[in-house]
Structure 1
Amino acid sequence: MSNKQFLITGGAGFLGSWLCDLLIAKNARVYCIDNLSSGRAENIKHLLKNKSFVFKKHDITKNTLNVKPDYIFHLASRPSPDDYLNNAIQTIDVNTEGTKKILELTRKTDAKLLFTSTSEVYGEATVFPTPENYYGNVNPSGPRSCYDESKRLCESLCMAYNRTYGLDLRIVRLFNTYGPRLRGDGNYGRALSRFIWQSINNQRITIWGNGKQTRSFCYITDMINGLMGSLLVKKTKGETINLGNPKETRIVDLANMVIKLTDSKSKVKYLPMPDNDPRRRLPKITKARQIIGFNPRVKLNQGLSKTIEWQIDR
């Protein structure tokens, strides 16, 4: 890995900035691009003086890149529901036009590509744990479809380029990931980061629906290890792989854990469930275990404590 160049799209975001840190620590050269629409410059500012790190503010839907990477992590997207529901057209553009440009760059440079898809491609799943060969149950014209369907199209684009040009690529479907640097503000907050922000400020914790819906929460270091293995292990070429924690947690239980860990006086406030919000998320990770040895190790209470500590210290 030493002296290999990695291109990371969305590199100033939550996942991307952690990848930048890990790769620089392993003596790789990192070319990080981000338009900073949801990524934060503060996530990577400590790397700017490193000679092996280059940052370019760049919109992947607009221009081609003059770079010849050995590896590409394509993370750029708008994955926060509040964000993509308010920016539907931009979300579709970033996912589709942006991904096609990265695929063309991959073809021209003969790089190895990892495309980050999402558990959202499964929609309202009916099989649990959900395997990669489950085709999904998605509303193609619902409010979430701008994200769900454009990610499904991106997967189709990736496999079309793989079959047509023989590109060395793989698709990973990410389930909920959390940890330090996950935004909890404005349109970018996810449920967990929002719960933490509300609890440390003794505000009401807002839960959509009755709180019995579930998600699986994977700590950032486990997810980053999964991403690295997915790109670097040769057997992943042409594969689609679930990455996430194989344990599900009810949202109301998550909120109560955060309240307890922050010693908060917050109470829970229940709001109407948004349209098409999935009731369960639980990945089957057998393929990831077999091919890359993926096995999330950080327990939820441990990861929550680290995330809360970071949020309080900011």
Structure 2
Amino acid sequence: MAAVDEYLFDRAAKIAAEVDLPWAELDGKTVLVTGSTGLIGSQVVRTLLSRNDHVDAGINVVLPVRNNKKAQALFGDRSDVSVLEWSLGDELMGSEHVDYVVHAACGTSSKSFLETPATTIMQIVHGGEAVLRYACSVDAKKVLFLSTMEVYGEVEGVATEDNLGKLDPMVVRNSYPEAKRLVECLCASYATEHGVPSVVMRLAQTFGEGVHHDDMRVFADFGRHAIDGKDIVLLSDGLKRNGYLSVDDSVRAILIALVNGQSGEAYNAVNEDAYCSIREMAQLVLDQFGAEGTQVRREFDPEREATFRKASDLMLDSSKLKALGWEPNDSLSDMYRAMIDCWSVHD
């Protein structure tokens, strides 16, 4: 096993050992995870497998994937893993028995939202529908759909689960959040019409271990500049404020909501203490991980700025999820430390 994979499994093992997670309901069950080669889905899978490794929990994991070799490279050849060939939007067929479904498969490239918005919409919607039809056919106990903070659009004040703001459907960048909204509605609709229990998880921007070194999102760009001893260059005014979440805290949130969440409900997941502006985040990264004398400065790039989410400050309220027993553990600094440490192990 490569050093980076050992690092990721070591972090997952710590989550798997936590006693306040709903293992009594997950041990001995079969869990299907789409998006299992992505940032969040892969760490959910590693956590379930680590649970088996350390306490012989008897959890069976089913992975619908487009690339079998990639899945095997990430998780190894294991008797507790079954792989199904599947591309987002195709009919999902295979395992006859599944207890829980985590639907985490989705592209997250802002560039594709602009350049191929129709494809973005149809992949998200058809993928969500395929997963829900499958869950119905196997009589799954519950489906968890991984949504996004972007469904809130331009919301006034703190964003609670029932306080969504404006999204202009004529702006093609909104192809991503509009499609996510529709799948959220599909989840509620399948619960009502077909009796498929489902919950929606709206994550704040999530990062930490497992983010690729060449990731083009702003948090990764800041991390690269800091460890390379370079200034951080902002392509906007940097005043927009967002909340953030660590990969580890997202895994905890998913497992808790999957078991304890009420069907037909949405749950926000964010560390409210990690709420800050882009400029504030850039300065924190340089202060803690950058070279002496480096600074934050601005250069206008209209092409890159067009890919950014066009909305006001967005602060999620996670009190509804906390009522299920979840609490975030990792600060913004912890998120950066996990990401940078993982890069160093990979190098």
- Return closer, same or farther for 1:53/1:164 CA change in 2, 3 Å cut-off: same
Pairwise CA distance, 1:294:
1.6
Matching residue within 6, 26, 36 for 1:11: 36
Structure-1 residue corresponding to 2:317: 284
Q: Which amino acid aligns with 1:104?
A: R
Deviation at 1:245, TM superposition (A): 1.5
Which residue of structure 1 lines up, in the alignment, with residue 157 of structure 2?
127
Render the CA deviation track for 1:254-313: whole Å, top value 9, x for unaligned: 1122223333346534334437522312111111111x2121111222222222121233
Q: What's 2:211 paired with?
A: 182
Flag structure 1 segments of 5+ consecutive residues without an equivalent: none
Q: 2:172 matched to 1:143? A: yes
- After superposition, where does 1:191-270 map in structure 2 within 5 Å? 191-233=218-260, 235-247=261-273, 248-264=275-291, 265=294, 267-270=296-299
Residues 48 and 55, structure 1, Cα contact 8 Å, conserved in 2: no
Residue deviations 1:27-55 (CA, integer Å, cap 9, x gap): 2111122336xx9938x624222211233
> Which residue matches 1:293?
325
The count of aligned residue pairs is 306
TM-score normalized by the length of structure 2: 0.82
| Cα distance, 1:212 vs structure 2 | 1.0
Partner residue of 1:66 out of 83, 94, 99: 94
Alignment CA distance shift 1:40-1:84 (3 Å)? farther
Deviation of the 1:224 alpha carbon: 0.7
Q: What is residue 50 of structure 1 aligned with on the other side?
A: 78
Distance 1:184 1:88, change over 3 A: farther
List alignment gaps of at least 5 residues for structure 2: 1-25, 53-58
Structure 1 CA distance, aligned partners of 2:108 and 2:74?
A: 25
The one of 145, 148, 162 equivalent to 2:191 is 162
Greater CA deviation, 44-53 or 158-167?
Answer: 44-53
- Taking structure 1 as the reference length, the TM-score comes to 0.90
2:145 paired residue among 112, 115, 129: 115
| Structure 1 pair 64–276 and aligned structure 2 pair: CA distance change class (3 A) | closer
Contact kept? 2:236, 2:298, Cα under 8 Å: no
Distance 1:143 1:207 in 2: 24
Q: Which residue of 2 aligns with 1:309?
A: 341
| Structure 1 counterpart of 2:284, one-letter code | M
Q: Which amino acid aligns with 1:310?
A: C
User: What SS is found at the alignment partner of 1:181?
Assistant: coil
TM superposition shift of 1:13:
0.2
SS of the residue 2:137 aligns to: helix
The Cα shift of 1:206 comes to 3.8
State how far apart, in whole Å, the 1-side matches of 2:93 and 2:225 are.
40
* 1:24 is aligned to 2:49: yes
**Matches of 1:83 and 1:183 in 2, distance apart?**
18
- TM-superposed CA distance for 1:178, in Å, is 0.9
Aligned equivalents of 2:319 and 2:69: distance in 1?
Answer: 34
Contact 1:124–1:276 (CA under 8 A) maintained in structure 2: no
Corresponding position of 2:182 = 153
CA contact (8 A) 1:34 1:76 kept: no
Sequence identity percentage? 23
After superposition, the C-alpha distances for 1:199-255 in whole angstroms (9 at most, x for unaligned) are: 32345534232111111111111111010000011x522211111112311111111
Radius of gyration: which is bigger? 2
